[in-house]
Amino acid sequence: DGGITQSPKYLFRKEGQNVTLSCEQNLNHDAMYWYRQDPGQGLRLIYYSQIVNDFQKGDIAEGYSVSREKKESFPLTVTSAQKNPTAFYLCASSQGPGGGYTFGSGTRLTVV
């Protein structure tokens, strides 16, 4: 079945650590996106990529980094510079601009 897979489902980070969230899709979609969701809130865009080896900052990119070396993969690194990283992180993909998004099931990150 085609879809988008996020791992791990739950992740715990100590203060000062970098952690990487995985996002893989087998839908042959060109575009991929990372969103952050805080409790009871909407989605805020962190980074997005329309094509391999290219990506753009979203509204809240500070403290995060991404790479897009393969079409299927768009990992997100939450760096120690992100002071409030506890949140639910959602990855999505689409065929291109303007289309519907397919979302992964999310990664819940908690700082301990």
Q: Judged by CB under 8 A, does residue 2 bind other proteins?
A: no
Structure token pair of residue 42: 């909407």
- In the chain, DSSP finds a helix count (H) and a strand count (E) of 0, 11
Residue choice 43, 75, 77, 86 for contact with other proteins (CB under 8 A): 43
Q: Judged by CB under 8 A, does residue 101 bind other proteins?
A: yes
Question: What does the radius of gyration of the chain's CA atoms come to, in whole angstroms?
Answer: 13
Q: Judged by CB under 8 A, does residue 75 bind other proteins?
A: no
- Choose between 16 and 98: whose C-beta lies nearer to other proteins: 98
Closest CB 16 distance from other proteins, rounded Å? 28
Q: Judged by CB under 8 A, does residue 100 bind other proteins?
A: yes
Structure token pair of residue 88: 């639910």
Give 30's DSSP letter: S
Q: How far apart are CA 9 and CA 7, in angstroms?
A: 5
Other Cβ atoms less than 10 A from the Cβ of 98: the count is 7
Closest CB 32 distance from other proteins, rounded Å? 11
Q: Judged by CB under 8 A, does residue 32 bind other proteins?
A: no
Q: How far apart are CA 74 and CA 29, in angstroms?
A: 12
| Residues in contact with other proteins by the rule CB under 8 A | 6, 33, 35, 40-45, 48, 50, 58-59, 88, 90, 92, 97-106, 108
